[in-house]
Amino acid sequence: MIQHVVMDMDGVLYRGDHPLPGAVDTLNALWTRGVRVAFLTNNASRHREELAARLSRLGFACAAGDVWGSAYIAALYLSHHAPGARVFLVGTAGMRREMEEAGIAVVPTHEGATHVVAGLDMTITYEKLSHAHYAICNGAAFIATNLDATFPDGPTTTTPGGGALVAALTTSTGVTPLVMGKPEPAGLSLIAASWGVTADDMAVVGDRLDTDIAAANAFGCLSVLVLTGVSTRAEAERAGAAEKPGVVLESLVDLPAVLEGRCRANSALDDPNQAQGGLSIA
Ligand SMILES: [Mg+2]
């Protein structure tokens, strides 16, 4: 039985301000059985405590230590790989707090910056972009928390995401960033290390083929697509190997059966008998 699960949040546990049917009970059942659960999100604008508080308000009783946002992942990455880094941030107060708690020095301008970390920043200015641009042109390493094109600001509307700001800097400098968020597997790698397990012992659950499933496949663990969010069964059927889910579920409620090995991975997704039921396997 798989005892370590990494979950995406929006589209897996909740949509908007509403938990998905059965999701709270499923999480509680997993915890009762001793399954360890980490919540991995590309959201870089909020500190882990804010992300955990939101989950708790929705009924998912998690701790801040269970939540891995891409700002935290960037901070951990820097503390492991670049101790002594001096970072110019394009990001929010939550991102700054993650850096400072990891012991990363945040600098106010491009001067002396060894790294630029860029993500969603609702107070972006041309001056801030220019400092990031100068730093990268002067040789600072360029790290993106995520490449999300949009940020959902309502049930049907979006605003520019962190990826849109990263794209401005990629265009102006010609430098491609190292990306911390999904679909890159950096976050999964750090979570696995914190648990002391390998990819074989883990499953990743998400609602997007191009981020959640791609990251899981790149890392080499079981990838589970739930159909309660963005990606559809038809898209899963059409997906190439990099984004092909190992398992497709109608909802999170079916996850315990997968973890217990009561359904197989890697059988045909297009088997009509499988596709009719709540469980189907890619
Ligand atoms: Mg999602």
- Asked if residue 192 and residue 169 are part of one domain, the reply reads no
Distance in Å, CA 197 to ligand 1 centroid: 24
Domain extent for 272: 4-42+183-281
Distance in Å, CA 151 to ligand 1 centroid: 12
Question: Residue 3: is it exposed, middle or buried by C-beta count within 10 angstroms (0-12/13-18/19+)?
Answer: middle
- What is the pTM (predicted TM-score) of this model? 0.88
Residue 139 forms beta bridges with which residues?
A: none
Give me the percent of the chain exceeding a pLDDT of 70.
Answer: 93
**What tens digit of pLDDT does each residue of 112-171 get?**
999 999 999 999 999 999 999 999 999 999 999 999 998 877 777 889 999 999 999 999
Does residue 279 register a pLDDT over 60?
no
User: Which among 114, 148, 179 is the end of a domain?
Assistant: 179
* CA distance linking residue 221 with residue 191, whole number of Å: 12
**What tens digit of pLDDT does each residue of 190-218 get?**
999 999 999 999 999 999 999 999 999 99
- Asked if residue 173 and residue 229 are part of one domain, the reply reads no
Does residue 70 register a pLDDT over 90?
yes
Residue among 121, 186, 114 at smallest CA distance from 148: 121
Q: Is residue 54 part of a domain?
A: no
Type of residue at 103: G
User: Which among 158, 179, 200 is the end of a domain?
Assistant: 179
Distance in Å, CA 226 to ligand 1 centroid: 10
* CA distance linking residue 191 with residue 72, whole number of Å: 11
Q: Place 16 in a pLDDT band, splitting at 50, 70 and 90.
A: confident
